[in-house]
Amino acid sequence: MIFNKIARAYIIIKIILNYGLDEIIPKKYFIFHFFRKIIFWIPNKNKNIEFSKRLILAIEKLGPIWIKFGQMLSTRNDIFKKDIIKQLQNLQNEVTPFDSKIAIRCIENSMNNKIEKIFNNFNKSPIASASIAQVYTAKLKNGKRVVVKVIRPGIIKKIKSDIKLMLVLAKFLSKIFKYGKNLRLIDIIIEYKKIILNETNLLYEAVHTIQLRRNFKESNMLYIPKVYINYCNENVMISEKINGIKISNIFDLKKNNVNMKLLAERGVKIFFTQVFRDNFFHGDMHPGNIFVSYENPDDPKYIGIDCSIIGRLTKLDKYFLAENFVAFFNRDYRKIAKLHIDSGWVDKKTNVNDLESSIRVVCEPIFEKSLSDIYFGKILLAFFSSTKDFKINIQPQLILLQKTLFYIEGIGKQLYPELNLWKTAKPFLENWIKNETRFLKILSILKENAILLAINFDGKKLFKNSFYEEREKKIKKKEKINILILCKSIFLFLLGTTIILFSLFLFMNENINQILFNILVFTSVILFIFSWKFLNRI
């Protein structure tokens, strides 16, 4: 097991160096650059390619887990430059299908039954193959046509291994870059780990689908397929087979005389209903997961599939988000600045006048466009961009929301280019704010979040010289210990690598001293094991 992890770590390091991604590390860290040249003499084979393209090529080489993470980061213009964001948005998660015999074996083991006793027929050719699962069509014994989703074998171990290595990389980058801590890379990866591991348990997707179906049971806007929960477990999920036109197939939608304006507006309303009414939104609404029922083209209905990723916001986050959007369209930049400070999205000590000026500089040019050309997703990006020079505290749940917003708005504009997103969403947001700010609602929020509010807004005053200071001391002490442990781990890994290289040099010598060779190999293995143990203590 330890050798597999070391081998994977080596492959990741090799890919990073092959594409010259280590050039982002400042030259002042000369020790890193020295060891990189002495121990890892792997050259950058792609010097003539610009950095943004090299980054994408490296991510694609690292595999599906890294590609999905890259797609998640494609909305983070507070971290990356525009050219990198553009490249990240083009990442494609193409995965070779695994053998259907393995899928059938997995179904039979999970159901404790033979495939022919579960289905009348089972199509062995997958209709979709992704990084996490593969999808087939079948017919149940009761005659119902269904889709069968099967988890890719061995994917969980691979995810956990790669996430650990991502965290090591994030900790390293958080230490060497000025804004490393404020970008919360470690929190983002932990959130990503939670999301992607939830995707590997199909019971989560099954219950998410059931909940979304319940939320829109009487809706004329969205249909969620029925889940056959008695046939579902961690590795297999069976749901109703739907008939519809892919949302991206504009030609077929127009051919069937679908009301494109109404369809586009309903997409926006569905999103805001999920976020603000239900606090339970589909977090992966890309075009591949959305179909349209065309039975009644004048009253079109969305069909949503693949509900594995679900997002939620706290009551306070929802309130601040809605108020920010309304304040933006009212050009009330001071209110936006105050909301950012009050919500904790930027440091409490931030000068409100400076933040207001920064927000104005970024947001005002947006109004040079017509209202129909303004996107909510881009507004969020503008908010993040305007706070770059301050101690920004991006919440991971807002990244998922922003990603979903980009999908929904992009789809809406494709369907109906004249769609006015603000006109569609404004009544919903204003009514929601009005209802939420009623006296009883405020009392309810204060009651539920009393401790949170005390710590976030007046924590230092309320707990001065006691809990708060003690907590800060513990955090600082832990950070120092973690840095020391990380240094020890890196030193042992480098020492082990040096000994391995020396032992390989001895091995190529005709007069090899077998005892010395064995001792060196054994020593390097011990060093690698201790290096890994130190790493796991962080």
Q: Residues with Cβ < 8 Å from 280, sequence gap 6 or more?
A: 211, 212, 215, 274, 310, 311, 312
Query: Does residue 301 fall inside a structural domain?
Result: no
More confident residue, 431 or 456: 431
Query: Does residue 389 fall inside a structural domain?
Result: yes
Residue 440: its pLDDT value, please?
Answer: 43
- pLDDT for 372 beyond 80: no
pLDDT band for position 463 (cuts 50, 70, 90): very low
Residues 109-119: what's their mean pLDDT? Answer: 94
**Poorest-pLDDT segment among 71-80, 213-222, 460-469:** 460-469
Do both 455 and 414 map to the same domain?
yes
**Poorest-pLDDT segment among 167-176, 357-366, 470-479:** 470-479
**Poorest-pLDDT segment among 83-92, 115-124, 336-345:** 83-92
Q: State the pairing for strand pair 128-129/133-140.
A: antiparallel
Residue 95: its pLDDT value, please?
Answer: 73
More confident residue, 437 or 137: 137
Q: Give Cα separations from 269 to 152, 248, 274, 516 (angstroms).
A: 35, 19, 9, 72
Under 8 Å between Cβ of 345 and 392: yes
Q: Residues with Cβ < 8 Å from 380, sequence gap 6 or more?
A: 398, 401, 402, 405
- pLDDT for 255 beyond 90: yes
Residue 449: its pLDDT value, please?
Answer: 58
Query: Does residue 334 fall inside a structural domain?
Result: yes
Do both 85 and 183 map to the same domain?
yes
Do both 408 and 528 map to the same domain?
no
Do both 413 and 512 map to the same domain?
no
Percent of the chain with pLDDT over 90: 30
Domain coverage including residue 32 = 2-94+155-198
Last residue of a domain, one of 430, 462, 494: 462
Residue 464: its pLDDT value, please?
Answer: 45
Query: Does residue 20 fall inside a structural domain?
Result: yes
Query: Does residue 284 fall inside a structural domain?
Result: no
Last residue of a domain, one of 141, 163, 198: 198
More confident residue, 112 or 515: 112
Query: Does residue 441 fall inside a structural domain?
Result: yes
**Poorest-pLDDT segment among 211-225, 423-437, 517-531:** 517-531
Residue with tokens 């929020």: 445
Q: What is the mean pLDDT of the chain?
A: 81
Do both 342 and 435 map to the same domain?
yes
DSSP H stretches of helix in 216-290: 250-255, 260-272
Query: Does residue 234 fall inside a structural domain?
Result: no
The 10s digit of each residue's pLDDT in 477-535 is 666 676 777 777 777 777 878 887 777 666 666 566 667 777 877 787 787 787 777 66
| Domain count across the chain | 3
Do both 58 and 162 map to the same domain?
yes
**∠ at Cα 349 (347, 355), nearest 5°?**
75
Do both 334 and 435 map to the same domain?
yes
Compute the residue count for the chain: 538
Closest alpha carbon to 231 in 110, 135, 124, 126? 110
More confident residue, 155 or 209: 209
Residue 26: its pLDDT value, please?
Answer: 65
Residues 283-300: what's their mean pLDDT? Answer: 90
Last residue of a domain, one of 129, 164, 198: 198
The 10s digit of each residue's pLDDT in 30-63 is 555 555 555 555 666 677 788 888 888 888 888 8
Q: Which residues are catalytic?
A: 284
Residues 220-248: what's their mean pLDDT? Answer: 95
Do both 453 and 323 map to the same domain?
yes
Query: What predicted TM-score, i.e. pTM, was given to this entire model?
Result: 0.71
**Poorest-pLDDT segment among 59-68, 240-249, 438-447:** 438-447
SS3 assignment, position 192: helix
**Poorest-pLDDT segment among 98-112, 144-158, 306-320, 459-473:** 459-473
Do both 455 and 391 map to the same domain?
yes
Residues 131-137: what's their mean pLDDT? Answer: 93
What whole-number distance in Å separates Cα of residue 115 and Cα of residue 238? 13
Do both 367 and 450 map to the same domain?
yes
Instruction: For 250-367, list the strands marked E by DSSP.
Output: 281-282, 290-293, 301-304, 310-311
Q: Give Cα separations from 29 to 26, 169, 277, 354 (angstroms).
A: 6, 15, 50, 33
Residue 447: its pLDDT value, please?
Answer: 53
Kindly state the tokens that stand for 454: 């005390």
What whole-number distance in Å separates Cα of residue 528 and Cα of residue 521? 11
Residue with tokens 């011990």: 526
Residue 88: its pLDDT value, please?
Answer: 80
The per-residue b/e assignment along 185-204, b for 16 or more CB within 10 angstroms, e otherwise, is bbebbbbbbebbbbbbbbeb
Residues 398-405: what's their mean pLDDT? Answer: 81
What whole-number distance in Å separates Cα of residue 284 and Cα of residue 403? 8
**Poorest-pLDDT segment among 50-54, 300-304, 326-330, 509-513:** 509-513
pLDDT band for position 452 (cuts 50, 70, 90): low
What whole-number distance in Å separates Cα of residue 362 and Cα of residue 77? 13
Do both 425 and 340 map to the same domain?
yes
Query: Does residue 25 fall inside a structural domain?
Result: yes
SS3 assignment, position 272: helix
Do both 53 and 16 map to the same domain?
yes
Residues 172-180: what's their mean pLDDT? Answer: 68
Under 8 Å between Cβ of 304 and 222: yes
